Amino acid sequence: MHQTPPQPASADEHATAITPVRSTIPQPVSTHSGCVDSIELLRGQKTVEISHNGSTYRLQATRLGKLILTK
């Protein structure tokens, strides 16, 4: 039995659809002007230091999803 060699693919056959990659990090949602979502502050970390009026504060997310701010 004789098989026909495969034909070269056209340029259209090589084109692939670009599928957007979904981020595993939730995107921040701004509820109103002046409100900063905790996702923006923490950026995937459990803690972040915040400088305010010459003092450093620590914002920490707990396992239960609550926030603790300490000086």
* Per-residue model confidence as pLDDT tens digits over 18-68: 666 665 655 656 556 788 899 999 999 999 999 999 999 999 999 999 999
CATH annotation of 38-71: 2.10.70.10
Q: Answer whether 67's CB lies under 8 Å from 50's CB.
A: no
Instruction: Write out the two tokens for 37.
Output: 């979502």
- Domain ranges within the chain, ordered by starting residue: 38-71
Q: Which residue has the higher pLDDT, 61 or 10?
A: 61
pTM of the predicted protein model: 0.52
Q: Is the pLDDT of residue 1 over 70?
A: no
- Predicted local confidence at residue 34, as pLDDT: 84
- Interatomic CA distance for residues 53 and 31, integer angstroms: 26
